[in-house]
């Protein structure tokens, strides 16, 4: 008899196991459907529903089907049991039920009012992921990929503006949404809604910070496909990627902010602690991410010395690259920092240094691997967002709150883009035109990050209402604004089908006449960028990659012994290789760094564009000073 019972329990476990397979199969099915749809759309050049919108739609339909075709099976799961002996919740609970010991794993605390949500449909519960899956499995590849592909032309040119939008803009957006929502909540309390809820200003700020994360996926995919004006693309891409990092850390610091006494009163100490937290977490995550990337760069750098050749084993190289990048994420998490931010800056640094050291095979492997992981993770998240509307069981739809949030998000975006653009235009040589500003305003979609931040904590009623609201705003913006991108571009008369190389060339030609007066204004605004670029080019690149001039020429003379050790013997032979100079140099920087000493009025912009016109990533280009002249000669030779 005992034997028989055992088999029954094993079968029970199998049932569990098979259900896991069924859920994953549902996702696989949705993804396959999405891929087939994308294929069809691409085939018909249909752009009114982006793949992310399609994935959401399929998720929605599937959620609807699951909700209304499966029925409540596990009656017992809604019952709350009393246990007098337990004083706190242990991580593993062993319970003796009818003389058999069962093991239970701690999942979390539940508010009393949510208990009834747990009564019911086991299938729905199974389809609801653990929120930490988003932060630990799905987001890292997306964010890393964004960082890894941030090595875009025009990026460093617009760095100042991007940083302003990302840091200042996100802070503005967060505060404005927080303030407006606080007003709405006060009004709702006044008219008798939200009875007995605890809804503080910090909660409103929390909502503001999570709603400030804009989506780097939907619009940019369309921009990329249509070859929209490069400056606009770079501004939006840079802003939305960095803005995610800022929003995540901001949300984290706000949730730690806990004033000691009255939660509604302003507590200066707690506020400054939160600001300190923000800066600490951001800087720590940044340092963690980049240091792992630097380690990777150093290891892969070693392959050119005599002793070892890692580049001969692309699999090992790719494996190491992958594992060290993932370790950056995990270390940041383990240290209490933000893994997502660490992985973003790890990606940026990997692209800037390590990428240059990789073998051609590994360059392609890593790119394709992260591209693929990004593709899958993105579609899973958007499918899941669609599913969550029907499978999540604790939604609180409050029309007034949703209306208030929509208004707040719209106003906050406006207060972010227009004033900042105005201020930036004061300093920018090349102004951000009105139609770009309107387009940036329009492209403020909310996506995966806002969703992931909102789903992290859905215990209290305010948080549940925020989650529902965030989800609906994501739906609305992805479908309406995402779908409206192409018409909007036409309406705002923004150039599409731009070849970035041609673009730069034309621009350079128009500028070459009025070259003198602009250098001075530019020099001030981009001073920090230029200092960094100089330092990077002279010291970091030679140490971490085989690009840039040998250290022996850049370091002061008394450092020569050290410089000789740090510069590998082969570096002298390879010193002409710096294959991303064309990405990070700036017309004016070029002029100043390399012409100010030479004092020859070479049309610097022409060099840059001829460099870029080759279009290849792996062009083995000369050290800038030299290569510029060479290429310029080639270029003039081509134009009789």
Contacts (CB under 8 A) with a second copy, residues 285-304: 299
What minimum distance in Å lies between the beta carbon of 425 and a second copy? Answer: 38
Q: Which of 161, 240, 327, 591 binds a second copy (CB under 8 A)?
A: 327
Q: Counting contacts by CB under 8 A, is residue 83 touching a second copy?
A: yes
What minimum distance in Å lies between the beta carbon of 219 and a second copy? Answer: 19
Identity of the residue, 344 or 440, whose beta carbon is nearer to a second copy in the bound complex: 344
What minimum distance in Å lies between the beta carbon of 611 and a second copy? Answer: 27
Q: Counting contacts by CB under 8 A, is residue 283 touching a second copy?
A: no
What minimum distance in Å lies between the beta carbon of 331 and a second copy? Answer: 6
Distance set, CA 201 to CA 265, 368, 453 (Å): 9, 45, 18
The two tokens of residue 5 are 């019972």
What minimum distance in Å lies between the beta carbon of 92 and a second copy? Answer: 5
Q: Counting contacts by CB under 8 A, is residue 261 touching a second copy?
A: no
* DSSP state at residue 120: B
Q: Counting contacts by CB under 8 A, is residue 596 touching a second copy?
A: no
Applying the rule CB under 8 A, the residues between 367 and 386 that interact with a second copy are: 368-369, 371-372, 375-376
Q: Counting contacts by CB under 8 A, is residue 122 touching a second copy?
A: yes
Applying the rule CB under 8 A, the residues between 335 and 354 that interact with a second copy are: 336, 339
Of 90-98, 276-284, 395-403, 440-448: span binding a second copy (CB under 8 A): 90-98
Q: Which of 69, 76, 191, 192 binds a second copy (CB under 8 A)?
A: 76
Identity of the residue, 18 or 190, whose beta carbon is nearer to a second copy in the bound complex: 18
Applying the rule CB under 8 A, the residues between 28 and 67 that interact with a second copy are: 28-29, 31-32, 35-36, 38-40, 42-43
User: Residue count at the site for a second copy (CB under 8 A)?
Assistant: 103
Q: Counting contacts by CB under 8 A, is residue 265 touching a second copy?
A: no
Identity of the residue, 98 or 520, whose beta carbon is nearer to a second copy in the bound complex: 98
Identity of the residue, 97 or 269, whose beta carbon is nearer to a second copy in the bound complex: 97
Of 94-102, 424-432, 499-507, 523-531: span binding a second copy (CB under 8 A): 94-102
Three-class HEC string of 358-399: CCHHHHHHHHHHHHHHHHHHHHHHHHHHHHHHHHCCCCCCCH
Identity of the residue, 302 or 441, whose beta carbon is nearer to a second copy in the bound complex: 302
Helix pair angle (448-455, 139-148), 10° resolution: 150
3-state SS class at 99: coil
The two tokens of residue 19 are 């259900």
| Cα angle for residues 134, 136, 137 (degrees, 5° grid) | 70
- If we measure between CA atoms, which residue out of 26, 61, 238, 37 comes closest to residue 150? 238
| Cα angle for residues 68, 73, 77 (degrees, 5° grid) | 120
What are the φ and ψ backbone dihedral angles of 446, each rounded to 5 degrees? -110, 140
Q: Counting contacts by CB under 8 A, is residue 104 touching a second copy?
A: yes
Q: Which residues contact 378 (CB under 8 A, 6 or more apart)?
A: 52, 142, 217, 448
Q: Which residues contact 299 (CB under 8 A, 6 or more apart)?
A: 310, 320, 324
Applying the rule CB under 8 A, the residues between 457 and 476 that interact with a second copy are: 457
Secondary structure element (H or E) that encloses residue 448, with its range: helix 448-455
Q: Which of 67, 70, 111, 613 binds a second copy (CB under 8 A)?
A: 111
- If we measure between CA atoms, which residue out of 233, 289, 258, 252 comes closest to residue 449? 252
Identity of the residue, 39 or 272, whose beta carbon is nearer to a second copy in the bound complex: 39
Identity of the residue, 149 or 331, whose beta carbon is nearer to a second copy in the bound complex: 331
Q: Which of 86, 268, 426, 565 binds a second copy (CB under 8 A)?
A: 86
Q: Do residues 416 and 165 make contact, with C-beta atoms less than 8 angstroms apart? A: yes
214 strand-pairing partners: 446
Identity of the residue, 23 or 579, whose beta carbon is nearer to a second copy in the bound complex: 23
CA distance 578 to 571: 11
């Amino acid at each position: 008899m005992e034997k028989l019972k055992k088999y029954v329990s094993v079968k029970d476990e199998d049932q569990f196991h098979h259900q896991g397979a069924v859920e994953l199969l549902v996702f696989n099915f949705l993804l396959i459907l999405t891929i087939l749809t994308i294929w069809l759309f691409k085939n018909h050049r249909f752009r009114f529903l982006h793949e992310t919108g399609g994935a959401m739609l399929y998720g929605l339909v599937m959620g609807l089907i699951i909700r209304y075709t499966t029925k409540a099976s596990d009656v017992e799961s809604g019952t709350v049991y009393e246990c007098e002996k337990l004083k706190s919740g242990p991580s593993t609970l062993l319970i003796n039920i009818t003389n058999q010991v069962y093991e239970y794993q701690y999942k979390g605390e539940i508010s009393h009012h949510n208990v009834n949500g747990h009564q019911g449909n086991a299938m729905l519960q199974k389809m609801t992921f653990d929120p930490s899956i988003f932060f630990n499995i799905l987001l890292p590849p997306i964010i890393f990929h964004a960082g890894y592909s941030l090595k875009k032309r025009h990026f460093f040119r617009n760095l100042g503006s991007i940083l302003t939008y990302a840091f200042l803009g996100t802070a503005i957006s967060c505060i404005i949404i927080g303030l407006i929502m606080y007003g709405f909540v006060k009004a709702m309390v006044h008219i008798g809604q939200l009875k007995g809820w605890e809804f503080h200003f910090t909660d409103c700020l929390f909502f503001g910070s999570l709603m400030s994360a804009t989506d780097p996926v939907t619009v940019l995919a369309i921009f990329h496909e249509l070859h929209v004006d490069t400056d606009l693309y770079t501004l939006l891409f840079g802003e939305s990627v960095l803005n995610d990092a800022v929003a995540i850390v901001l949300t984290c610091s706000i949730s730690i902010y806990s004033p000691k006494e009255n939660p509604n009163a302003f507590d200066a100490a707690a506020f400054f602690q939160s600001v300190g937290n923000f800066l600490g977490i951001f800087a720590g995550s940044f340092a963690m991410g980049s240091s792992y990337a630097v380690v990777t760069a150093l290891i892969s750098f070693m392959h050119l010395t005599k002793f070892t050749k890692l580049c001969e084993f692309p699999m090992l190289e790719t494996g190491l690259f992958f594992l060290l990048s993932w370790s950056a994420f995990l270390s940041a998490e383990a240290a209490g920092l933000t893994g997502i931010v660490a992985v973003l800056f790890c990606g940026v640094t990997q692209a800037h240094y390590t990428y240059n050291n990789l073998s051609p095979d590994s360059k392609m492997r890593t790119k394709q691997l992260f591209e693929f992981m990004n593709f899958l993770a993105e579609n899973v998240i958007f499918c899941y967002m669609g599913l969550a509307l029907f499978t999540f069981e604790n939604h609180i739809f409050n029309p007034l709150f949703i209306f208030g949030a929509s208004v707040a998000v719209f106003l906050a975006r406006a207060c972010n883009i227009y004033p900042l653009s105005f201020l930036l235009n004061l300093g920018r040589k090349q102004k951000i035109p009105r139609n770009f500003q309107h387009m940036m305003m329009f492209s403020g979609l909310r996506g995966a990050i806002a969703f992931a931040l909102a789903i992290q904590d859905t215990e209290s009623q305010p948080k549940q209402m925020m989650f529902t609201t965030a989800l609906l705003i994501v739906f609305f913006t992805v479908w309406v604004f995402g779908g409206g991108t192409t018409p909007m571009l036409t309406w705002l008369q923004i150039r599409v089908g731009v070849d970035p190389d041609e673009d730069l060339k034309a621009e350079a030609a128009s500028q070459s006449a009025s070259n003198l007066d602009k250098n001075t204004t530019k020099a001030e605004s981009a001073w920090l960028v230029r200092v960094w670029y100089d330092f990077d080019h002279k010291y970091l690149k030679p140490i971490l990659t085989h690009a840039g001039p040998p250290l022996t020429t850049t370091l002061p003379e008394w450092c020569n012994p050290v410089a000789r050790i740090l510069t590998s013997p082969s570096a002298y032979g390879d010193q002409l290789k710096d294959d991303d100079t064309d990405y990070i140099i700036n017309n004016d920087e070029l002029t100043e760094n390399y012409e100010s000493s030479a004092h020859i009025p070479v049309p610097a912009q022409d060099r840059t564009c001829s460099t870029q016109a080759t279009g290849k990533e792996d062009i083995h280009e000369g050290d800038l000073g030299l290569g510029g002249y060479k290429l310029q000669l080639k270029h003039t030779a081509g134009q009789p």
